[in-house]
Structure 1
């Protein structure tokens, strides 16, 4: 029987997940498909999840703005997704919905790939933002042993996140001692990169464009930059394994994604 999975979000036309998962499906020779779904609102997303519960779908990756709703609809929630307060992966099994989050593991995979010299254990890390993406980053980095501080325009949101995930709240001066700065905002951050350490690593979760203004400014200073595409592929790998029961084949999906983005940067 054909396994049916996909990604749900709004907007969704830009998503590279079908390209990535489709390439792995083809390389593995699986009887499976992976589709885009663009529910217009929470009601349509709930209807899509109900189709999964009814057995029509094997699972869904979930992106904005439905990650929190995905968690709320689940019957079982992984500790990681619970800590994040959102889910980017739903698995449907025998009428039950299981929620998980692979965003944090994607972030750690991206760091391992593009900043292999960085060991975050007992290092100061600043995460910019206090939304769902920031929560996933803080949770993963805290588990990895980092001393994480949250810097957000609205301090109350940063404080709420910090309390939930055993982090601290940062002010801009914390940037000067950070070994890693993670941009979990959907917009370019308004920070002064000149205060960063000369050996600092910066990661931007955004991958359109691949080299964001944040990463470009970091590169101009000679800092190690980690792009959002590495994180996207990093979170897709455990998602694929959970959806289809096998590890993704060792093919170069990054090059396929770069071509789709119209990028030539390696």
Structure 2
């Protein structure tokens, strides 16, 4: 087990300033502004999205500094104002706002600089889509970003902001730029959901501010404001010496950052758990290995979601028997100089069954779903003595998984739950029953791997029928604790229930679907979810 050393960092003892970004007219209602006043230090008005509100009215409800940003279409915004109209609006804002965003290099004009003093300027650069550094090596991209900043810094300002696109070397280089500059008047991060982790990490690397949406998150990857303290403990910046995270196609829908970071803070471990949106796992993995040497914050562990579980097993130096047996891993961690792979789906299935009083030995079991989670559950039940049948919608994939595990297979179209003592569901389907629960035996035990509030259709059907069921929240409780133990070498504290940690900061528990290390469970869109 890898144990964390006591950390240190340039950010230790500092506090980030939280900036609420108003991007919708609803963000400027008196009620919303008063709510932001209890969370944010500053308020940014995206004038290209909400127009030019009266700052005097804003200050009646929000007492902090106000920033005016008129993002142009050239830099990813919505403002198509011509040069004269743009200068007019920026000059008017300079008389009424505390900080005015000037785009490099179009707004760096003598007339504007003469009217807006350095203490009132924020010089920003948002790269156009897929611009800058694609195909270059990471060190070269860092050097290129540093040169761009040097040109921006020739104009004195209170703050400098660089936002490259994700998916390019510039996006990967953004955090490393901050490390190399060692300044406290610069922030840099990648835009888009793939860049969310760079936004969160930036304050620990010297950035003075971190931005959060005043309302619902947008496509730019900016979290909503109340997630910054709830999921990452911001604005506090405790010592940091390593990183953990979740790697998947849509990690923004995961509870893992909130659960793991709460435990890390309580145990005072110098680490941060981040969401890594990953389309291709191997390139991400090779880049992540180099991040520690350049940024001084080595990657120590990852929980991994579909479809990357097979790739996670392939990159490991050594794998636990359970992961080898099912051909997939949902956990990677650095231990004694080697990367280990494991699947915690096996532990979760067997432990929750034991807690419910269900012994798989000698029982007939059907596992619906042949992905990484389904194969892991089937492998665990088989090793525990159950007679397991795999069920899958895709016949070829189901037969392949069954042959690998030495188990029987039934296509989903021909499956009936009748006659099985144990039924396990391991697919992302949550809106309808994956099989007709009404046909299950009265004494059957049903294990639902997916979790969400409101409950999945399968969980609702189980309760209505009066069957003994294990829902995904119970699975989550076991999995996340086991993952934390393996990655950090510490037991996760028992002080805060997982369901409470997953509740909405406004007190409305269960408004989101969340996944810790398994495939995402779709849910109705809420203000927490990016479109």
Normalised by the length of structure 2, the TM-score is 0.46
Distance 1:29 1:95, change over 3 A: closer
Decide which structure has the larger Cα Rg and report it: 2
Within the alignment, does 1:204 sit opposite 2:448 as a pair? Answer: yes
The farther-off stretch of 93-102 and 20-29 is 93-102
Query: For residues 52 and 220 of structure 1, what CA distance do their matches in structure 2 show?
Result: 50
Mapping 1:81-230, distance limit 5 Å: 81-93=323-335, 96-113=338-355, 116-170=356-410, 172=414, 175-187=417-429, 188-209=432-453, 211-230=455-474
Q: 1:29 offset after TM fit, Å?
A: 2.7
The residue number in structure 2 matching 1:263 is: 510
Question: Structure 2: which 5+ runs fail to align?
Answer: 1-6, 8-240, 512-531
Distance 1:107 1:45, change over 3 A: farther
Q: 1:157 offset after TM fit, Å?
A: 2.4
Q: 1:258 offset after TM fit, Å?
A: 4.3
Residue number among 276, 280, 294 corresponding to 1:41 in the alignment: 280
Q: Is the partner of 1:33 in helix, strand or coil?
A: strand
The residue number in structure 1 matching 2:254 is: 15
Q: 1:33 offset after TM fit, Å?
A: 1.8
Contact 1:127 1:138 in 2 (8 A): yes
Q: 1:219 offset after TM fit, Å?
A: 1.2
Contact 2:454 2:510 in 1 (8 A): yes
Distance 1:216 1:62, change over 3 A: same
Q: Which runs of 4+ in 1 moved over 4 A?
A: 52-55, 171-174
Contact 2:329 2:372 in 1 (8 A): no
The residue number in structure 1 matching 2:147 is: none
Within the alignment, does 1:61 sit opposite 2:300 as a pair? Answer: no
Question: Structure 1: which 5+ runs fail to align?
Answer: none
Q: Is the partner of 2:299 in helix, strand or coil?
A: coil
Distance 1:63 1:33, change over 3 A: same
Query: For residues 94 and 258 of structure 1, what CA distance do their matches in structure 2 show?
Result: 33
Q: Is the partner of 1:170 in helix, strand or coil?
A: strand
Contact 2:334 2:487 in 1 (8 A): no
Contact 1:45 1:66 in 2 (8 A): no
Q: 1:225 offset after TM fit, Å?
A: 2.0
Q: 1:193 offset after TM fit, Å?
A: 1.4
Q: Choose between structure 1 and 2 for higher RCO, CA contacts under 8 A separated by at least 6 residues.
A: 1
Contact 2:282 2:311 in 1 (8 A): no
Q: 1:93 offset after TM fit, Å?
A: 4.2
More helix by share: 1
Contact 2:310 2:327 in 1 (8 A): yes
Query: For residues 266 and 325 of structure 2, what CA distance do their matches in structure 1 show?
Result: 34
